[in-house]
């Protein structure tokens, strides 16, 4: 990633499926995190949108991300933002390897009360798969 110009931090790195781009969130001076794209050598830094928890679609054309209590989708060129799921608490999101589902959380930022859900990428067919668990992150099982 790159070095922020002022006090802040880069976090939530996500490699694109082709390995040519890294999506990440940058948090500067306590404001709202912003998503960026960058080449692995640190070149071609491009600001996308406010948000965090980026996750690439398997074809590398879109990203799912979190802003506030919602999950959004945006094209990798930064256009076409649309809200997929709303009303969540401190969510994180991951795109499924087959591109058909999202895995996401909702619950307090800390504590053993996190729920883990799946939904179709359009936000329909939501299903809670874990209830009131303590986790540090989520990931899809390879091949799922």
Of the candidates 28, 38, 40, the one whose C-alpha atom is nearest the C-alpha of residue 4 is 28
Q: What is the largest CA-CA distance in the chain?
A: 42
Q: How far apart are CA 111 and CA 91, in angstroms?
A: 14
Q: What is the pLDDT along the chain (144 residues), one digit of tens a residue?
A: 555 556 789 999 999 999 999 999 999 887 899 999 999 999 999 999 999 999 999 999 999 999 999 999 999 999 999 999 999 999 999 999 999 999 999 987 666 689 999 999 999 999 999 999 988 889 999 877
DSSP 112: S
3-state secondary structure of 36: strand
Please tell me the pTM assigned to this model.
0.91
Q: How far apart are CA 142 and CA 144, in angstroms?
A: 6
């Amino acid at each position: 990633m790159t070095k922020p110009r002022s006090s802040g931090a880069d976090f939530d790195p996500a490699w694109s499926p082709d390995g040519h781009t890294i999506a990440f969130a940058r948090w500067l001076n306590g404001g709202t995190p912003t998503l960026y794209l960058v080449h692995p050598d640190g070149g071609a830094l491009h600001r996308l949108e406010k948000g965090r928890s980026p996750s690439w679609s398997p074809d590398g054309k879109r990203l799912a991300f979190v802003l506030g209590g919602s999950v959004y989708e945006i094209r990798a060129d930064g256009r076409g933002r649309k809200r997929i799921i709303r009303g969540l608490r401190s969510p994180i999101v991951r795109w499924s390897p087959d591109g058909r589902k999202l895995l996401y959380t909702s619950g307090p930022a800390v504590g053993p009360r996190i729920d883990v859900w799946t939904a179709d990428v359009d936000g329909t067919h939501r299903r809670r798969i874990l209830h009131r668990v303590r986790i540090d992150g989520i990931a899809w099982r390879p091949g799922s």
